[in-house]
Amino acid sequence: MTYFHSNSNKNVIGKEFREYVEELFGDILAKNYFEKISTPMEEYTLHVFQKYEMMERIEDSFRQVGYETKVHNKFPNVIVTKPKGPFTLEFEENMKEMIVDNRAAEMIYQGSDIFIPGVKRANKVRVDDIVKVMNQVKIPVAKAQALLNHHDMLVQGKGVAARNLLSPFKVPNLQQAGLDDFPAYFQSLPAYLTSMNLEPEPNEKILDCCAAPGNKTIHLNELSKNSAKIVAVDRSKNRMQKLNKKIEKHKLKNIQTKVGDIVKLSKSWSIKFDKILVDPPCSSLGLRPRLVHNVDVKTIKSMAQYQKAILFACDKLLKDNGTIIYSTCTVTKEENEEIIQHAIENMAYRVVEQNFVFSKTDISIADFAFPVQRFIPGIDNTLGYFIAKLQKSKS
């Protein structure tokens, strides 16, 4: 006996968070947001770094593995692709189960294999068993074939536990297309726009204060024609290693990296920057897909306090008339509009128009009227994102 499970837009939403989003967006947009946030983005953008003569070859490589592709109509170094799916999962009755943590499940849901660190339970699973993979709240995310038995998964501690046979979606990646070593990386369109709107120029001093894994950092360098003096800071040593590898791969000489918390580092720095990119840690409520939403308002407000501290630290490092781009991959007002209002009221900033605007969202959040970009799943074909451009007044 078999049964089918179609879960292309299934998710679990905490009561407090549901009420928060309904109050923020209204019932109709909140409903659309919750439906879309549980699926991959409608469009994925691949940024080809400097080697623009490879665009056609990269496009062809993705087409050969079944992905629709085109060059972005405004940015000639960006390729737009779409995920495959949704697919319906089919399971045999009494099939063995593999439980994975919720974050791993979201990757598996869109085609990733099942890696050992993400496995929470796989009782009685043996090599070659076909298993039903579920997250911690029992949402099925894939049908997979075990490569190890449960005991060996525990002993080895790393590697691939099972091969993904079918998931609701399959999103494009460089490995599928045989492009691992090519100078290209997937970057959401809003993330691409953050660097574009900072508009770095040659010889400027630029700070990327929460930089790793560094796609925005090397984009800033590209836009400045490899001539800006860029300092990239991140508090994660492991994530900073990823940026250092990119710098080494592309032989970039003008980016200095530093592991540390910009709030602490700023207290001993005397350098002044022309421009600063502030993309701080956030509640990440715009990332897609998200299958479990259990963030409470207390956590959101705690994140906002840290974001204000980062912005205050960056204010001390910015020249008069300097520019800050502030961006997040979340949808809350506390981490977005209220942060910008705080900068206006307490740090002598004004919000200025951005030159690269692609958001379709045209709604007012809590009566804030300044010019920002908000990307909202359910309106825009991408992740949830926020971008504001601030200019510092003279002392």
Contact in structure between 87 and 167 (CB atoms under 8 Å): yes
What sign for the dihedral angle of Cα 354, 355, 361, 362? Answer: positive
CA distance 286 to 302: 18
Is 130 within a domain? yes
Give the pair of three-digit tokens for residue 127. Answer: 């090599």
Q: Is the domain of 183 the same as that of 133?
A: no
**Tokens 């549901």 belong to residue:** 18
Q: How many CB atoms lie within 10 A of CB 68?
A: 13
Instruction: Tell me which DSSP letter residue 194 carries.
Output: H
Give the pair of three-digit tokens for residue 143. Answer: 């049908």
Residue finishing a domain among 166, 198, 216: 166
In this predicted structure, the answer to whether residue 304 has a pLDDT above a threshold of 50 is yes
Residue 69, domain CATH:
3.30.70
Confidence grade of residue 143 (pLDDT, cut at 50, 70, 90): very high
Give the pair of three-digit tokens for residue 370. Answer: 């300044």
Q: Is the domain of 254 the same as that of 305?
A: yes
Q: Is the domain of 128 the same as that of 145?
A: yes
Q: Is the domain of 114 the same as that of 208?
A: no
Is 56 within a domain? yes
Q: Is the domain of 306 the same as that of 330?
A: yes
The one-letter amino acid at 283: S
Contact in structure between 350 and 304 (CB atoms under 8 Å): no
Contact in structure between 37 and 106 (CB atoms under 8 Å): no
pLDDT above 90: percentage of residues in the chain: 86
Give the pair of three-digit tokens for residue 328. Answer: 């997040």
Residue 128, domain CATH:
2.30.130.10
Segment 348-370 mean pLDDT: 89
Is 320 within a domain? yes
Is 387 within a domain? yes
Nearest to 387 by CA among 360, 365, 354: 354
At 230 the pLDDT is 98
Confidence grade of residue 203 (pLDDT, cut at 50, 70, 90): very high
Q: Is the domain of 296 the same as that of 221?
A: yes
Q: Is the domain of 230 the same as that of 320?
A: yes
Is 290 within a domain? yes
Burial class (CB in 10 A: 0-12, 13-18, 19+), 183: middle
In this predicted structure, the answer to whether residue 231 has a pLDDT above a threshold of 70 is yes
Highest mean pLDDT among 248-252, 324-328, 377-381: 324-328
Nearest to 256 by CA among 229, 236, 218, 274: 229
Q: Is the domain of 124 the same as that of 108?
A: yes
At 1 the pLDDT is 41
Backbone angles phi, psi at 233, to 5 degrees: -120, 140
Segment 77-105 mean pLDDT: 94
Residue finishing a domain among 166, 201, 216: 166
Give the total number of structural domains in the chain: 3
Confidence grade of residue 386 (pLDDT, cut at 50, 70, 90): very high
CA distance 329 to 331: 7
Confidence grade of residue 154 (pLDDT, cut at 50, 70, 90): confident
Range of the domain at 363: 189-392
H and E: helices and strands count for the chain: 11, 22
Lowest mean pLDDT among 9-18, 145-154, 236-245, 262-271: 9-18
Is 33 within a domain? no
Q: In what order do the strands lie in the sheet with 97-100?
A: 114-115, 160-166, 140-146, 130-134, 97-100, 119-121
Q: Is the domain of 253 the same as that of 375?
A: yes
Is 321 within a domain? yes
Ramachandran bin of 50, using left for φ above 0, alpha for ψ from -120 to 50, beta for the remaining angles: left
Q: Is the domain of 234 the same as that of 310?
A: yes
Q: Is the domain of 142 the same as that of 256?
A: no
Contact in structure between 140 and 7 (CB atoms under 8 Å): yes
Strands 69-71 and 78-81, by their bridges, are antiparallel
Give the pair of three-digit tokens for residue 197. Answer: 């709107």
Query: How far apart, in Å, are the Cα atoms of 120 and each of 5, 83, 133?
Result: 22, 27, 11
- Supply the mean pLDDT for the chain: 93
The three-state secondary structure class of 204 is: coil
Is 217 within a domain? yes
Strands 229-234 and 205-208, by their bridges, are parallel
At 4 the pLDDT is 46
At 113 the pLDDT is 97
Residue 325, domain CATH:
3.40.50.150
Q: 234-260: buried (b, 16+ CB within 10 Å) or exposed (e) per residue?
A: bbeeeebeebeebbeebeeeebebebe
Contact in structure between 328 and 335 (CB atoms under 8 Å): yes
Q: Is the domain of 266 the same as that of 380?
A: yes
Segment 117-126 mean pLDDT: 95
CA distance 88 to 213: 34
